[in-house]
A and B are shown apart, each in its own frame.
Chain A
Amino acid sequence: MEDTPVKIVVYHCRNLRLFKDGEQKIFCRQWPGLTMVSIPCSGKIEAHHLLKTMAGGAQGVLVLACSEKACQYLEGSSRSRKRVDYARLWLEKVGISAERLDFVRIPPMDRVALENLLREFLSKIQSLEALPAIAKA
């Protein structure tokens, strides 16, 4: 298990401006197993996306959002919080630790904060018993 990188998916709001053109790919190379997905607003993410991502083999999913006040679409950031909570509820229903799913508001353009967060999240996920892999039909 140690050899296989832990699959983590991060949905991040485009308005956080974490990466300039082309930087995201380079960043991900430094983090094996990491997939970063840029979305127009964290509010676009819904519980079914998160569950599907988990069912697709992710060991953990992070949603990165702007602060509530900074949300370009006014309600996006507060909505996504509720949706992540709802998805966490579903994880609990199926007996999977809700810790695998998290929602974090970070300052814009703060790559250091991002890296600290990823380190923390990764170690948390590694501390949990790995989910069985999905056998592809």
Chain B
Amino acid sequence: MIVATLKEIDEIRKMIDRYDSVLVVGCDSCVAECAAGGARETMLLASALKLSYLKDHMNPTITEAVIDRQCVDDFIDQIADQVPEHDAILSLGCGAGVQALARVYSDKAIIPALNTLFIGETQSRGVWQENCLGCGSCKLGYFGAVCPVARCSKKLMNGPCGGSKGGRCEVNPEIPCGWDLIIRRLNALGELDRLTEYVPPVDWSTSHSGGPRKVVREDQQP
């Protein structure tokens, strides 16, 4: 899923104070799972904004709406009736959701309420871990299903650096050393031999380094 966090309310206020009416739109997929932009957080943020404006004796119209996915037109269309009544949309979608809304509602200001962080998993309740960088050429099969690109702070492909200590990364002891995880996994699987081979430089052209990427499937098109 895409993992995000809510922005601070002051930053959001700076972006939306100029509007008299704001439609606060949640997204009930990825960002609901990471408790940043689902129905709950939409209610939370809309209420917090109302209180915040109340405190400043301001009274903009703040309306709540939630759609299942802000990155798919079929769902985006569901708020079509509400959009014209508002000056701006405050989106609790990820960066993709915000931009999709802007494409569909091209004459409307769309403001992000989240900081989109990464592709990750819900590791335990209330804990989300980054584990994919979307490099476009998955190598997990060689690394015991632990990604050296996403889980190593230096994207090392040929083993742990000299800063790995007690299974922790040199950058921050809160970060598990990705290479420690890789070695443990492959050791447990009896496949450590996979790591003795030299891994040549990565072809980053399939990643964002090759420019913004697009997938086109004719069989899926109308």
Is there any pair of Cβ atoms, one from A and one from B, under 8 angstroms apart in the complex? yes
Chain A residues with CB under 8 Å of chain B are 46-49, 51-52, 54-55, 90-91, 93-96, 131-132, 134-135, 137
Query: Do residues A94 and B59 form an inter-chain contact, with CB atoms below 8 A?
Result: no
Known A-B contacts A94-B9, A135-B59; A48 and B41 likewise in contact (beta carbons under 8 Å): yes
Q: How far is the CB of B118 from chain A (nearest CB, A)?
A: 23
Q: Is B14 an interface residue (CB 8 A)?
A: no
Query: Do residues B40 and A55 form an inter-chain contact, with CB atoms below 8 A?
Result: no
Closest to B41 in A: A48
* A-B contact list, 7 entries, CB within 8 Å: A46-B40, A48-B43, A51-B44, A51-B51, A52-B47, A55-B46, A134-B50
Closest to A47 in B: B44
Known A-B contacts A93-B9, A94-B9, A131-B54; A137 and B61 likewise in contact (beta carbons under 8 Å): yes
Chain A residue numbers with a CB within 8 Å of B51 are 51, 54-55, 91, 94, 96, 131
**CB within 8 Å of A: which B10-32 residues:** 10
Query: Do residues B40 and A54 form an inter-chain contact, with CB atoms below 8 A?
Result: no
Chain B residue numbers with a CB within 8 Å of A55 are 46-48, 50-51, 54
Query: Do residues B48 and A93 form an inter-chain contact, with CB atoms below 8 A?
Result: yes
Query: Do residues B55 and A96 form an inter-chain contact, with CB atoms below 8 A?
Result: yes
Query: Do residues A95 and B55 form an inter-chain contact, with CB atoms below 8 A?
Result: yes
Tell me the bound Cα distance from A132 to B50 in angstroms.
11
Tell me the bound Cα distance from A120 to B57 in angstroms.
28
Tell me the bound Cα distance from A132 to B55 in angstroms.
7
Q: Is B218 an interface residue (CB 8 A)?
A: no
Tell me the bound Cα distance from A54 to B52 in angstroms.
11
User: Most chain-A Cβ atoms within 10 A of its Cβ — which of B43, B48, B50, B59?
Assistant: B48
Chain A residue numbers with a CB within 8 Å of B8 are 93
Closest to A90 in B: B48
Query: Do residues A51 and B57 form an inter-chain contact, with CB atoms below 8 A?
Result: no
Query: Do residues B55 and A48 form an inter-chain contact, with CB atoms below 8 A?
Result: no
Closest to A95 in B: B55
